[in-house]
Amino acid sequence: MLASVHIVCFATSYAVALVLEISRLVFRSGVRGAVMLGFAGTGWILHTAFLYYRASSLLSSSQDWYLLAAWVLVLVYLYLTWFHPQQHFGVFLLPLVLGLVATARWFTDPQPLAREPISKVWGGVHAVSILLATVSVLVGFAAGVMYLSQVRRLKGRRTLLAPLRLPSLEWLERASGRAIVVSLLMTGVGVLSGVMLNVINYRRHDPVLPWNDPFVLATLGMFAWLLGATVLAACYRPARRGRKVAYLTLASFVFLAIALGMGLFMRTQHGRPRTAAGAAGAAPLDGQNLPPAAGGRGSPGGGP
Amino acid sequence: MNVRVIGCSHRGTPIALRERLAFGRGETAEALDHWRRVFRNVEAVLLSTCNRVEVYAAGPAEIPAAEQVAGFLARFHKLVAAELLPHLYVHDGPTAVRHLFTVAASLDSMVLGEPQILAQVKQAYQAATERDATGPLLHAAFQAAIRVARRVATETAIHQRRVSVPSVAVADFARGVFERFDDKQTLVIGAGEMAEETLRYLRDEGARRVTVVNRHLERAVALAAAWQGAARPWEELLEALAAADLVIGTTAAGKPVVTLEDFRRVEASRQQRPLVILDLAVPRDFEPAVGGRPDVYLYSVDDLQAACRRNQAERDKELPAARAIIDQETGRFMADLYRRATGPVIQQLKDGWQKPKEQEIERLLARLPGLDERARNEIRLSFDRLLGKLLHPPLESLRDESRNGIPHGLLDALSRLFRLKD
C-alpha cells in the first residue's frame, strides 16, 4: 500500500498541519497539538515511504532532490515542535516545506535526467552537501523572519496582544548564525565536490560543466556571499548581532532562490547530459548530474 | 459526616480585621492544639493568608456552629465575638467542598490565578496534619483540593498569564529578548521597592550579575549586598549602562536620568548588543526616544500595566472552564463521601449474611460425604451467587440513595431490619 503513496498524500498532511498551526493563533485547544504533530508525522512517514520506494534511483532527478530537501525540513520541524511545543515554528517552516513539495510536483521532472555520475562518492557528496546547504539556508531564513517578527512585536510592545509565540531573540540569533555557518560549509563542500567531478570528467576527456553555467554562477554567488558574510561577522562583532544576522539569512535565501530558479527555468547544463559543444572552452568546475538542475521549463530538453 | 468552612476573606472583610484575625506559623500550631482541646473529635485545618482566614472543620457527627468558631477565634485573638460574626461566611457540605476547591485553584484569590495560594493551602493542611488535627474527611478533602487545583492549572490557561508588573516585565518582555539571564548584566538604577521585586523574579530566572547605581551610594551598597551584586556611584551611570544587558529604572527623579543624548554617547561601545530597559519609575527614568534606537527594548510602567490588564482579561476568559472542573470534582468528591458513609452498613450486612452461609454449606457438605471436590465447589459457588443476589437490591438502593446525600433513613431502616450494630 505504501508503494502507491502519491505526493498529494503527504502534501495534504503537511497542509492540514499548517492549517492547525495557524489555528493556534486563533483559538485554544487541548488536543490540537497532538493532532497537528500526528498529521505532520503521518505526512513524514508517507513522505519517507515515497522516497524509500524510489531509493534505487533516489537523487537521480531534480524532483527527488526537492522532495528530499522537504523531508529533511519536516524532520527539523518535528524536532523543534516536539521539544518546543509552545512555539509556532510550523507557521514559518511548513510553508517552506509545501513550497519545496509544490516545486517538486509542478516544476521538476521525475525522470532521471542525467547519466550516472562519473564518481559515485563525489556525486553523492555533491548532492548531499548542496541539499544540506539548501535546508540550512531555509532554516536560517525561517529563523531570520521569526527574528524580525519578534523584534517588531517587542518594539511594538505586543508580546501579549499577538497570539504568535516565538523563541527569544537570543535563541533566534544563535539559530540564524549557526544556519549561516552550516550553509557556508555545506555550499563549500558542494562547490569543491563539483569541481572534483569536473576535474575527473576533464581528465577522462568527458564533457565538463562550463564555469559560466547560470546555475554554477548563482551557486558561486551564494557561496561568495556566505563566505563574505561569515568573514565579516568573524572580524566585526556587531555583524554577528541581531538584525544583521537576520538580514544575512534573508539575503542568503534570495541567493538560494536565484540559484534554484536558474536550475529550474534557465538554460543550464547542470545535472544534464552534456555535449562536447556545450563543454567547449569551459573550465572544469561543477558536478555532473545532481541537484536542482534541469527538467525546468527553460532547460534544454526539459518539460514542465 | 459533615464538612463546614467558616471564615472571612478579601471579599467583604476589611483588611484591618483580617490582620487581627491572621495566624502566624507558630500561632497556627497553638490554635490547632487549642482547637483539639475545645472541640474533641472535630477535624480542623486553619488557612491563614493575607487575603483570608478560614477554619475548615469536619467530623462524623455535629461540628461547631459559626458562633462557636467565632468565639474560638475571638478568644484566641482577644477580640469580641459579636464583632467578628457579621464578617464570617459559613458554607456546609458540598458548598464547603466547592469553596475549598475554588480557593485552592486560585479562583477566589484577589489576583485570579495567582500561584501562591496552592502552596499556602498545602502548608495549612500540612500544619494541621502535624498537629494531628486532621482526620479521614479533611485528608480526603484537602488531597482532592490539591489534585483539583493541579487539574485546573493543567487544563486551563488560568495560570499561564502573569499579572504583576515585575513578573510580566521579566517573563513576558525580558524573556522575549533573552534566552538565559545567568550571563547577562543587570543594572538597577535607584533602589526602589519595585527594583527588589523585579530582581527576585530575575534571580528565579537565573540572573546572577547585578549592579546597582544610586544617587546615595550607601543605599546602592545595601541593595547590592542583598543581591550579591556590585554598587557603583551615580557618576558612573553611563559606564554601567554601556555594560548592561538589562536595566531596571526605579529612581524618584523628577525628570529622565538617561536622555537620548546620554544614550547615544554609550551606544557605540555597546556594539549593538540588545538592551532591555524596564522603566518602572514614575516619572520615567529614560527618555522615550531611547526606545526608538535599534536593539533597545524600552518598556514603561504603562506598557507593563497594560500587559497585566490584558493578561488578567485572558485569565478571566478561562474562568468558566475552571468552574466547570470545580463543579465536576465537587460532585465526584461528595458522591465518594456519601458512598463512604454507607460503607460500614454495607460491610455489616455482608458480614451478617456470611456466617449463616458458611454454616449452611458446612451442614450440607457434612450430610453429603460422597461428593467429589468439583461438586463441593459448585455448591459453594451456588451459595455465593445466591447471597450476591439477595444482597444486590438493598445495596443498589443504598447506592442510588447516596447519590444526593447520606441516606440516613435507609441506613437506619437497614440497621433495624437486620439488627446491625452502630
pLDDT digits (tens, 9 = 90+) for A184-202: 999 999 989 888 888 887 8
Distance CA A16, CA A39 (A): 7
pLDDT digits (tens, 9 = 90+) for B94-136: 999 999 999 999 998 887 787 788 999 999 999 999 999 999 8
The verdict on a CB contact (< 8 Å) between B273 and A161 is: no
pLDDT digits (tens, 9 = 90+) for B11-32: 888 888 888 888 887 899 999 9
pLDDT-based confidence at A279, cuts 50/70/90? very low
At A291 the pLDDT is 45
pLDDT digits (tens, 9 = 90+) for B251-275: 888 889 999 999 999 988 888 889 9
pLDDT-based confidence at B204, cuts 50/70/90? confident
Distance CA B370, CA B199 (A): 88
pLDDT at B376 over 80: yes
Weakest-pLDDT range from A134-138, B39-43, B193-197: B193-197
Considering CB atoms only, which of B157, B178, B297 is closest to A155? B297
pLDDT at A275 over 60: no
ipTM value of the model?
0.77
The verdict on a CB contact (< 8 Å) between B155 and A30 is: yes
At A239 the pLDDT is 59
How are strands ordered across the β-sheet holding B43-48? Answer: B43-48, B52-59, B2-9, B89-92
The SS3 of residue B188 is: strand
User: Is A157 at the interface with chain B, CB within 8 A?
Assistant: yes
Task: Please confirm whether the linkage preceding B283 is cis (ω < 30° from 0).
Answer: yes
| Rounded alpha-carbon distances, angstroms, from residue A74 to A125, A138, B38 | 22, 12, 69
| H/E stretch holding B44 | strand B43-48
At A80 the pLDDT is 94
| Rounded alpha-carbon distances, angstroms, from residue A43 to A37, A46, A56, A135, A230 | 10, 5, 22, 18, 36
Contacts of A244 in chain B (CB under 8 A): 272
| DSSP states of A240-290 | GSHHHHHHHHHHHHHHHHHHHHHHHHS---TTS---HHHHTTPPS-S-SS-
**R_g of chain B computed on alpha carbons:** 32
Residue to substitute from B156, B179, B314, B325, interface A, most A β-carbons within 10 A:
B179
User: Is A154 at the interface with chain B, CB within 8 A?
Assistant: yes
User: Higher model confidence: residue B123 or residue A290?
Assistant: B123
At A285 the pLDDT is 39
Contacts of A28 in chain B (CB under 8 A): 157
The verdict on a CB contact (< 8 Å) between B176 and A153 is: yes
pLDDT digits (tens, 9 = 90+) for A34-65: 899 999 999 999 999 888 887 656 566 778 88
Weakest-pLDDT range from A249-253, A255-259, B288-292, B397-401: B397-401
Average pLDDT over residues A82-94: 92
The verdict on a CB contact (< 8 Å) between B310 and A160 is: yes
User: Is A247 at the interface with chain B, CB within 8 A?
Assistant: no
| Rounded alpha-carbon distances, angstroms, from residue A302 to A211, A297, B146, B178 | 21, 6, 68, 50
User: Is B306 at the interface with chain A, CB within 8 A?
Assistant: yes
Distance CA A135, CA A182 (A): 10
The verdict on a CB contact (< 8 Å) between B180 and A237 is: no
Nearest residue on chain B to A160, judged by CA atoms?
Answer: B307
How far is the alpha carbon of A161 from chain B, nearest alpha carbon, in Å? 8
Of residues B15, B19, B30, B50, which has the active-site annotation? B50
Contacts of B163 in chain A (CB under 8 A): none
Residue spans of the domains in chain A: they are 1-112, 121-295
The count of C-alpha atoms lying within 13 angstroms of the C-alpha of B173, restricted to the half-sphere facing its C-beta, is 35
At A72 the pLDDT is 94
Torsion of CA B369, B371, B377, B379, to 10 degrees: -80
Per the DSSP assignment, residues forming a β-bridge with B188 are B212, B248
Chain B (240-299) residues lying within 8 Å, Cβ to Cβ, of chain A: 271-274, 291, 294-295, 297, 299
User: Is A241 at the interface with chain B, CB within 8 A?
Assistant: yes
At B84 the pLDDT is 87
pLDDT digits (tens, 9 = 90+) for A153-171: 888 866 555 678 899 999 9
DSSP class of residue B57? Answer: E
Task: Fill in the amino acid letter for A240.
Answer: R
Active site residue B308: no
Distance CA B60, CA B43 (A): 9
Greatest Cα pair distance in chain B: 112
Contacts of A154 in chain B (CB under 8 A): 173, 176-177, 297
Distance CA B183, CA A159 (A): 23
Contacts of B294 in chain A (CB under 8 A): 243
Nearest residue on chain A to B278, judged by CA atoms?
Answer: A157
pLDDT-based confidence at A297, cuts 50/70/90? very low
Distance CA B216, CA B385 (A): 88
Chain A (45-104) residues lying within 8 Å, Cβ to Cβ, of chain B: none
- Give the contacts of A87 (CB within 8 A, at least 6 positions apart): A80, A81, A165, A166, A167
Considering CB atoms only, which of A161, A174, A238 is closest to B272? A238
At B397 the pLDDT is 83
At B17 the pLDDT is 86
pLDDT digits (tens, 9 = 90+) for A204-257: 777 777 777 777 888 888 888 888 888 877 776 665 677 888 888 898 899 888
Residue to substitute from B156, B161, B272, B318, interface A, most A β-carbons within 10 A:
B272
Average pLDDT over residues B357-379: 90
Backbone angles phi, psi at B135, to 5 degrees: -140, -165
| Rounded alpha-carbon distances, angstroms, from residue A164 to A27, A91, A143, A173, B405 | 11, 9, 14, 18, 48
Q: Which residues of B311-328 are buried (b: 16+ CB within 10 A; e: fewer)?
A: bbebbeebeeebbebbee
Domains contained in chain B, CATH given: 2-160 (3.30.460.30), 165-301 (3.40.50.720), 338-392+406-422 (no CATH)
At A294 the pLDDT is 36
Q: Which residues of B281-301 are buried (b: 16+ CB within 10 A; e: fewer)?
A: beebbbbeebbebebbbbbbb
On whether the CB atoms of residues B148 and B329 are closer than 8 A, the answer is yes
% of residues, chain B, pLDDT over 90: 47
Q: What share of chain B is helix, strand, coil (3-state, %, to 5)?
A: 60, 15, 25
On whether the CB atoms of residues A275 and A207 are closer than 8 A, the answer is yes
Lookup: cell for A217: 554562477
pLDDT-based confidence at A281, cuts 50/70/90? very low
Average model confidence (pLDDT) across chain B = 88
pLDDT at A110 over 80: no
The verdict on a CB contact (< 8 Å) between B177 and A168 is: yes
At A236 the pLDDT is 67
For residue A266, the tally of other CB atoms under 10 A from its CB is: 19
Distance CA A128, CA B404 (A): 70
| Rounded alpha-carbon distances, angstroms, from residue A190 to A42, A85, A208, A219, A230 | 31, 34, 16, 9, 17
pLDDT-based confidence at B315, cuts 50/70/90? confident
